[in-house]
Structure 1
Amino acid sequence: MLDWNDLKYFVAVARHGSTLAAGRALGVDQSTVQRRLTALERHIGRALVQRHTSGYRLTDFGTEMLQAAQQVEHAAVAFEQALAESRRNAAGVIRLTCPEPLVNRLTKSGLLDRFHVQHPALHVEFVMSDKYIDLRTGEADVALRSGDTDDGVLVGRKVGDSLWAVYASKDYVARHDMPSSVEELGGHPLAGFEESMSAHRASQWLRDVAPDAAIVARCGSVLGLLLSAKAGVGIAPLPTALGDSEPELVRVLGPVAALSRDWRLLAMPEIRKTARVSAFFDFMVSEIEALKPIITG
């Protein structure tokens, strides 16, 4: 019988153009992809791909069969997501993804305690990341997210404003002059995001306004920027909710209009309709006034 699992290796090679890239996407080594693809072709009795110097290309037969294989892949992913969703519904778990600094602020605010009192059968688990977690993969149910969040797939609503300003430590200010304008930022050592966060709006803004500035600390998270600023190694852009709450920091510029975005509560449409996620959305909307100081400052 056909091993349906082998089809995902065929689809991955067709999608990525090489067994190496397919292996990376699937989290296996290149030899595994080659072995499983060969086994599939041997079972079928016809070649699906051809090896070229530039990578793998589909044969005419492979092109003919690709759409059907993709349909199997989509059905398998849908089944896995439905199974995971059923398990989470039964357990009453809501996985909330949000930036790391918000976890402490949300927890200390008592907001989630009130939610658990109202809904004792439900439990919120954090999936912490400064990068966007793809809700389509099922890694999280709900995102509390700021930035460019309108991707045409997720549904949700605005729950507050995301404001950013530029901060320095009191010690830094005592040793150096503060920039009096955005144009003077280039004359100061800066803390910014590392390459993996290059698409973040703060990274893009620093490149625009201070392209020749000395970046003395490259961080993979907002908490890294915060710690760099507190250590006095340089000036850093930070969310106002975070920067203003630190007594060791001084706001030197801002809020910066170019960095302002909306905070949104987001979910996949089918997940948004479940009872547990609907309960969480309804509660958070009812608590918007309490939420605003947490996410905006």
Structure 2
Amino acid sequence: MNWDDLRVFLAVARRESLSAAARGLRIDPATVSRRIARLEEETGAALFAKSPQGYALTEAGARLMGHAVQAEAALLAGQAEVAGQGAQGLSGQIRIGAPDGVANFLLPDVCARILDDNPELEIQIVALPRLFNLSRREADMAVTVSAPTAGRLLVQKVSDYHLTLAATCGYLDRHPPIRSLDDLRGHRMVGYIPDMIFDKELDYLEEIGVDRVKLASNSVSVQYHWVAGGAGLGVLHDFSLPHHPDLCRILPDQTRLTRSFYLVRHQDDARLERLNRFAALLSERLRAEINRKEGLS
């Protein structure tokens, strides 16, 4: 079985699109289609089912996926060993999936500093307000806000972090005072779209007794900009507060919440020293960045 064909197969399986796979591989879609057809002819089975949503793996495709991922892992491990990456710097491409809070306010600085020490690395951050499918290799690793309990995954806790109800000092000067949680009823609330909360750990407002959101988005970044622009009150990450000097905490003794970040990888990657080293470095730097920014807020 040709590795180049398997590489194309993995790209289509992960992106669920011929055109997206072609862009990622930097080849034309017709070549991708020919490679998949050749692989299906060789295996004697249809590997994908096409639908309006894109290309989905068939049962035969899902079985091949596991073997293709193992082949890819073995190839990467071999490349790392030949390159002598034991005590030297890290190199190659690593993709991190993350919810947009950590992707906006923590990972940019952390990854830039890691790259300063490892100039041969290529780091990609995929910021999406949803869970990542590591079995389909949408990312090499993912930062999550809860620990997965199913699947062949390596899960390590990175750090606790905190969130607090906040608004701009300007907003608070223009609106009625907030002396208790009951006073929140007279204010415009910013938060998640209720039916698009992809993890129960993100249901912050319910925890402080707010049941109505006037400005809602599935994006932490949009919520942050609403609050920082003086549009209302919202629960913000403490590590995001230093990014806007006019933000003030509201009733911190009653509205401060504690959550945790986890770093999640596929179990098959435990053999890859390169990813092991990067995961350890990323966890250490994330933990330090959370402590630093929470100390500034």
TM-score (norm 1): 0.66
**One-letter code aligned to 2:224:** L
Residues 180, 253 of structure 1: 8 Å contact kept:
yes
Q: Name the CA shift for 1:290/1:176 in 2 (closer, same or farther; >3 Å).
A: same
Residue 23 (structure 1) aligned to one of 41, 51, 56: 51
Give the whole-Å Cα distance in 1 for the aligned partners of 2:92 and 2:63. 25
- Can you give the 5+ residue segments of structure 2 that lack an aligned partner in the other structure? 1-40, 80-90
Superposed displacement of residue 168, structure 1: 1.0
Give the whole-Å Cα distance in 2 for the aligned partners of 1:265 and 1:256. 29
Q: Name the CA shift for 1:80/1:295 in 2 (closer, same or farther; >3 Å).
A: farther
1:268 maps to: 266
Superposed displacement of residue 139, structure 1: 0.5
Establish whether residue 134 from structure 1 lines up as the match of residue 133 from structure 2.
yes
1:4 maps to: 45
Superposed displacement of residue 203, structure 1: 5.9
Q: Name the CA shift for 1:219/1:286 in 2 (closer, same or farther; >3 Å).
A: closer
Residues 129, 198 of structure 2: 8 Å contact kept:
no
SS at match of 1:260: strand
Give the whole-Å Cα distance in 2 for the aligned partners of 1:78 and 1:130. 26
Give the whole-Å Cα distance in 1 for the aligned partners of 2:227 and 2:115. 36
**One-letter code aligned to 2:45:** W
**One-letter code aligned to 1:193:** Y
Residues 98, 126 of structure 1: 8 Å contact kept:
yes
1:62 maps to: none
2:96 maps to: 96
SS at match of 1:210: coil
Establish whether residue 143 from structure 1 lines up as the match of residue 138 from structure 2.
no
Superposed displacement of residue 249, structure 1: 1.3
2:85 maps to: none
Residues 163, 258 of structure 2: 8 Å contact kept:
yes
1:22-42 Cα distance to aligned partner (Å, 9 max, x none): 8356558xxxxxxxxxxxxxx
Q: Name the CA shift for 1:239/1:281 in 2 (closer, same or farther; >3 Å).
A: same
Residues 216, 233 of structure 1: 8 Å contact kept:
no
**One-letter code aligned to 1:162:** Y
Q: Which of the pair has more CA radius of gyration?
A: 1
1:197 maps to: 196
SS at match of 2:214: strand
Give the whole-Å Cα distance in 1 for the aligned partners of 2:203 and 2:129. 16
Give the whole-Å Cα distance in 1 for the aligned partners of 2:251 and 2:277. 39
SS at match of 1:206: helix
Give the whole-Å Cα distance in 1 for the aligned partners of 2:193 and 2:238. 21
Give the whole-Å Cα distance in 2 for the aligned partners of 1:290 and 1:207. 30
Residue 66 (structure 2) aligned to one of 71, 78, 98: 78
Give the whole-Å Cα distance in 2 for the aligned partners of 1:256 and 1:135. 37
**One-letter code aligned to 1:73:** G
Q: Name the CA shift for 1:294/1:128 in 2 (closer, same or farther; >3 Å).
A: farther
1:100-154 Cα distance to aligned partner (Å, 9 max, x none): 3434544664x43443354444332111123222222200011122x22232433
Aligned pairs for 1:11-50 (under 5 A) are 23-24=51-52, 26-27=54-55
| Count of aligned residue pairs for this structure pair | 239
Residues 107, 286 of structure 2: 8 Å contact kept:
no
Aligned pairs for 1:177-216 (under 5 A) are 177-195=176-194, 197-201=196-200, 204-207=203-206, 209-211=209-211, 213=212, 215-216=213-214
| More displaced stretch, 86-95 vs 133-142 | 86-95
Residues 160, 262 of structure 1: 8 Å contact kept:
yes
Q: What's the C-alpha RMSD, in Å, of the aligned pairs?
A: 3.3
TM-score (norm 2): 0.66
